[in-house]
């Protein structure tokens, strides 16, 4: 059978699907969830366990080679063990983004699904600051579960959303962690979503992060690592470090030209870009017994060249470009 590819009008083949399993989370991070929370909706509008598996299989038949499970917090999803087991049988690379609070409970199911790499969200190494950012106190549990993952042989990537005046003074602390432990620190620029009070002044740019690293370690000791195809992270290492650090510069240095990502929200909508406000309802189509393939192709064909059609993240542009809050999109 001829391999299928979902290619947009700019020649980008899309073979990476990020599935948000739930809008629920056991944290309330300021950059992800509005202070007032998100409106609770009837559970019937969200994908059920069997629907997640069936729709994922449809995407695989269309050429998807990698699936990442996100949320909310994916490990709070009812039926997560079944989802892991079923998706683990597919001919794909399966991965997971989590806040690690429940990792100890599900680590066997995660490993049995063939997952070898896990992204963990952790925005501060200081307990009180982490509580302030996440509005919950699971700091020690998260650190313990990160160590558990490392002990079990997982590749662990730490996602750090940098925000000026909040945690940007910890850049070197996180890089130091990568020197002594075989982990990858990934500094993520603070991005605009509904309800997170974003403004450009809070963003720490790619150049600033790299400059801070070079000032601390010297230019000769900060090494560029060759990126893999479609990689969103620019990777670096410090001389003699066990791990690495990277920068995801969505705002100041976008990487849209090589994008291969498709997003499926917990309520079954396809988003062809993190910042796109165009969505198509795959779940209703699936429940009606119709093929979702035409809608998937339609969504990919409609994909803008970059950033969901935005140009500069100006306040005026953002005001005219309504999008979801991060927790209802999926990481």
Residue 47's Cβ-count burial label (10 Å; 0-12, 13-18, 19+) is buried
Say how many domains are in the chain: 1
Beta bridge partners of 261: 16
State what percent of residues in the chain have pLDDT above 70. Answer: 85
pLDDT above 70: residue 10: yes
Question: What CATH number does residue 59 fall under?
Answer: 3.20.20.70
Which pLDDT value is given to residue 255? 67
| Full residue range of the structural domain in which residue 107 is found | 6-328
> Helices in 200-313 by DSSP H: which ranges?
206-217, 282-287, 293-301
In a domain, 73, yes or no: yes
- Which has more confidence, 233 or 83? 83
What are the backbone dihedrals phi and psi of residue 254, each rounded to the nearest 5 degrees, phi first? -60, 155
**Whole-number mean pLDDT of the chain?**
88
In a domain, 31, yes or no: yes
C-alpha distances in Å from residue 186, one per residue of 74, 103, 158, 233, 297: 20, 20, 6, 7, 32
Look at 227 and 53; give whichever has higher pLDDT: 53
What tokens appear for 18 in the block? 């990020």
Tens-digit pLDDT profile for residues 86-124: 999 999 999 999 999 999 999 999 999 999 999 999 999
Q: List pLDDT tens digits, range 68-93.
A: 999 889 999 999 999 999 999 999 99
Residue 133 lies in a domain: yes
> Taking a C-beta distance cutoff of 8 angstroms, is the pair 74, 24 a contact?
no
Quote the pTM value: 0.90
Cα–Cα distance, 132 to 124 (Å, whole number):
10
| Structural domain contains residue 1 | no
Instruction: Identify whether 279 is part of a domain.
Output: yes
Domain membership of residue 123 (yes or no) is: yes
228 belongs to a structural domain? yes
In a domain, 14, yes or no: yes
């Amino acid at each position: 059978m001829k391999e299928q590819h979902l290619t947009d009008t700019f020649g980008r083949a899309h073979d990476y699907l990020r599935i948000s399993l739930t809008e629920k989370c056991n944290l309330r991070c300021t950059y992800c969830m509005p202070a007032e929370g998100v409106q609770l909706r009837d559970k019937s509008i969200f994908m059920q366990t069997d629907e997640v598996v069936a729709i994922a299989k449809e995407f695989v038949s269309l050429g998807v080679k990698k699936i990442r499970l996100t949320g909310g917090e994916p490990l709070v999803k009812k039926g997560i063990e079944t989802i892991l087991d079923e998706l683990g049988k597919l001919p794909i690379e399966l991965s997971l983004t989590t806040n690690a609070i429940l990792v100890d409970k599900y680590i066997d199911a995660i490993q049995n699904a063939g997952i070898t790499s896990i992204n963990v969200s952790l925005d501060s190494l200081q307990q009180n600051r982490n509580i302030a950012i996440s509005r919950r106190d699971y700091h020690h549990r998260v650190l313990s579960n990160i160590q558990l993952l490392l002990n079990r042989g997982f590749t662990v990537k730490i996602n750090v959303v940098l925000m000026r005046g909040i945690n940007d003074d910890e850049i070197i602390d996180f890089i130091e962690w990568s020197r002594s432990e075989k982990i990858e620190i990934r500094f993520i620029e603070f991005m605009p979503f509904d309800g997170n009070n974003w403004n450009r002044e809070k963003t720490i740019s790619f150049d600033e992060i790299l400059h801070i690293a070079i000032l601390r370690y010297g230019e000769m000791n900060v090494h560029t690592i060759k990126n893999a195809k479609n990689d969103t992270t620019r990777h670096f290492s410090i001389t003699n470090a066990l791990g690495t650090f990277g920068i995801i510069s969505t705002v100041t240095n976008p990487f849209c030209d090589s994008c291969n990502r498709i997003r499926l929200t917990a309520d079954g909508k396809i988003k062809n870009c993190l910042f796109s406000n165009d969505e198509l309802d795959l779940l209703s189509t699936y429940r009606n017994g119709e093929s979702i393939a035409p809608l998937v192709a339609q969504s990919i064909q409609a994909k803008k060249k970059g950033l969901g059609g935005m140009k500069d993240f100006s306040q005026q542009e953002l005001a005219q470009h309504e999008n979801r809050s991060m927790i209802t999109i999926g990481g």
